[in-house]
Amino acid sequence: MEEYLSLLPPASSLTYACIAKAFCLLTVLYHGKKAYGLIESMLTRIKDLAAKLAPRLIEIRRHIHSHPELSGQEYQTAAFVAGVLSSSGLHVQEGVGKTGVIGELQGTSQNERLLAIRTDMDALPIQEGTNLEYASRAEGIMHACGHDVHTTVGLGTAMVLSQVAEELGGKVRFLFQPAEEIAQGASWMMKDGAMENVSAVLGVHVFPSIPAGSIGVRYGALTAAADDLEILIMGESGHGARPHEAIDAIWIASQVITAMQQAISRTQNPLRPVVLSIGKINGGRAPNVIADKVQLLGTVRSLHPETRAHLPNWIENIVANVCNTYGAKYQVNYRQGVPSVQNDYVLTQLLQSAAEEAWSSDRVQVLPEPSLGAEDFSMYLEHVPGSMFRLGVGYKERIINYPLHHPQFEVDESAIITGVVTMAYAAYKYCQQCQQNF
Ligand code: NI
């Protein structure tokens, strides 16, 4: 070696420094390409594994679809989920949050970051109106919100990742949540420690207005906060022919409803939406008797936490002003439900890039608008950052794709593989990123 060096022409230390730098650059490029190659091959493996599982996953989804269970009663579904997770080698815990199930994939990494993947399992009290051969066998209960698909995507992701656990580079906890439709399941699971040591959470919800094969991501607000409202108005009964001798609770209730709707358009920032819907009125005894008491029941939706915080006082002031004007007594009961789902920027970027690499950018939509629906995924986001994506399940060839919660709601099952690959690859990318930062 020394002999060889001695044959080199004399050079300044500057020349050697340049050669060393060039060598370093080549090394970085080589390793970078190798790392990129590894990630590429993991994507190919995830896609191959998912494709092989496709017939089994369709079978699983159809089984869950034909055996729907209501919120908090997901006993058969939970047992089924636990069975699939165990046979895939995951560490399984049942009865978490009453009827929830946790499956944990340990991997071999020293990286302490733990990713949670949350899917929900409950169905709705709806009589199925499809003619599918695997339609609901439970009278008056239907998977009309796609939670059968979510559970299948969760199981498929667990099955795929369990086969690459050695190279995953991190730990993944699968949360199969009960009772999302009554906005309770997330709280139940967290009370039982489902989020202990979790550093981030990903979720998925089907979306019939996006075609199967595509997904939607959204930065920031995805769904609204949903609060419950009860207003009691107490007047004085009297003869229908002599209103001046009574305090008409029905008429005052109508004034309260009108005042609230008008005040929204004049006193709420129109760029920070508030939707207040009174869905039920109870009151009155007979056509010719003035009602002494009315109960109004409604829902209040909002997107911004600051807007939401002032709504109870804002409503109470309007009710008080109207009732005081006409001499009625009142009571306002405002119960905070679930907050708005606020998707984390970095994790949404992770989902978007995973989907764009797995498919193509024209199959990934950045959704321009949030929904004013509610989703208790937001409860997890009170503790850790997370992001939920929309999985397109619409049939491209159909003019009408029935909406969520409709008795004829159907999904194009090819979406299941899109969901599994997107979720599994996003989980892999998350673990890899954590490992690099470890
Ligand atoms: Ni849902």
Whether 15 is covered by a domain: the verdict is no
Domain of residue 432, CATH code? 3.40.630.10
Full pLDDT tens readout for the chain, 438 residues: 333 333 344 445 444 444 444 444 444 444 444 455 555 599 999 999 999 999 999 999 999 999 999 999 999 999 999 999 999 999 999 999 999 999 999 876 677 789 999 999 999 999 999 999 999 999 999 999 999 999 999 999 999 999 999 899 899 999 999 999 999 999 999 999 999 999 999 999 999 999 999 999 999 999 999 999 999 999 999 999 999 999 999 999 999 999 999 999 999 999 999 999 999 999 999 999 999 999 999 999 999 999 999 999 999 999 999 999 999 999 999 999 999 999 999 999 999 999 999 999 999 999 999 999 999 999 999 999 999 999 999 999 998 899 999 999 999 999 999 999 999 999 999 999 887 765
Q: Are 101 and 218 part of one and the same domain?
A: yes
Q: Are 71 and 202 part of one and the same domain?
A: yes
Q: How far is the CA of 55 from the centre of ligand 1 (A)?
A: 24
Query: Domain end: 338, 373, 408, which one?
Result: 338
Angle between helices 415-437 and 13-66 (to 10 degrees): 140
Q: Are 286 and 363 part of one and the same domain?
A: no
Q: How far is the CA of 120 from the centre of ligand 1 (A)?
A: 8
Query: Domain end: 286, 308, 338, which one?
Result: 338
Q: Are 232 and 219 part of one and the same domain?
A: no
Q: How far is the CA of 148 from the centre of ligand 1 (A)?
A: 10
Q: Which residues pair with 200 in a beta bridge?
A: 115
Angle between helices 147-162 and 415-437 (to 10 degrees): 50
What pLDDT sits at residue 32? Answer: 46
Q: How far is the CA of 203 from the centre of ligand 1 (A)?
A: 11
Whether 6 is covered by a domain: the verdict is no
Whether 24 is covered by a domain: the verdict is no
CB proximity list for 385: less than 8 A, separation 6 or greater: 200, 201, 344, 346, 347
Q: How far is the CA of 236 from the centre of ligand 1 (A)?
A: 43
The range of the structural domain enclosing residue 368 comes to: 32-223+340-437
Whether 26 is covered by a domain: the verdict is no
Token pair recorded at residue 156 = 């498929």
Q: Is the dihedral of CA 287, 288, 290, 292 positive or negative?
A: negative
Q: Are 129 and 110 part of one and the same domain?
A: yes
Q: Are 229 and 351 part of one and the same domain?
A: no
Short-list 177, 155, 162, CA closest to 105 = 162
Q: How far is the CA of 254 from the centre of ligand 1 (A)?
A: 33
Q: Are 48 and 157 part of one and the same domain?
A: yes
Cα–chain center distance at 343: 9
Whether 9 is covered by a domain: the verdict is no
What pLDDT sits at residue 399? Answer: 86
- Count Cα neighbours of 297 within 13 Å in the Cβ-side half-sphere: 5
Instruction: Match 């939607």 to its residue by tokens.
Output: 216
Q: How far is the CA of 150 from the centre of ligand 1 (A)?
A: 9
Q: How far is the CA of 410 from the centre of ligand 1 (A)?
A: 14
Q: Are 37 and 165 part of one and the same domain?
A: yes
Q: Are 199 and 285 part of one and the same domain?
A: no
Q: Are 327 and 375 part of one and the same domain?
A: no
Q: Are 203 and 236 part of one and the same domain?
A: no
What pLDDT sits at residue 438? Answer: 52
Token pair recorded at residue 310 = 């002032």
Whether 16 is covered by a domain: the verdict is no
Q: How far is the CA of 212 from the centre of ligand 1 (A)?
A: 17
CA distance 276 to 273: 10
What pLDDT sits at residue 111? Answer: 73
Q: Are 188 and 102 part of one and the same domain?
A: yes
pTM above 0.95, yes or no: no
Domain of residue 250, CATH code? 3.30.70.360
CA distance 424 to 163: 11
Q: How far is the CA of 323 from the centre of ligand 1 (A)?
A: 38
Q: How far is the CA of 242 from the centre of ligand 1 (A)?
A: 50
What pLDDT sits at residue 39? Answer: 57
Q: How far is the CA of 399 from the centre of ligand 1 (A)?
A: 23
Query: Domain end: 338, 359, 387, which one?
Result: 338
Whether 2 is covered by a domain: the verdict is no
Q: How far is the CA of 70 from the centre of ligand 1 (A)?
A: 13
Whether 367 is covered by a domain: the verdict is yes
SS3 track for the chain: CHHHHHHCCCCCHHHHHHHHHHHHHHHHHHHHHHHHHHHHHHHHHHHHHHHHHHHHHHHHHHHHHHCCCECCCCHHHHHHHHHHHHHCCCEEEEEECCCEEEEEECCCCCCCCEEEEEEECCEECCCCCCCCCCCCCCCCCECCCCHHHHHHHHHHHHHHHHCCHHHHCCEEEEEEECCCCCCCHHHHHHHCCCCCCCCEEEEEEEEEEEECCCEEECCEECCCEEEEEEEEEECECEECCCHHHCECHHHHHHHHHHHHHHHHHHHCCCCCCEEEEEEEEEECCCCCEECCEEEEEEEEEECCHHHHHHHHHHHHHHHHHHHHHHCCEEEEEEEEEECCCEECHHHHHHHHHHHHHHCCHHHEEECCCCCCCCCCHHHHHCCCCEEEEEEEEECCCCCCCCCCCCCCCCCCCCHHHHHHHHHHHHHHHHHHHHHHHC
Give the number of domains in the chain: 2
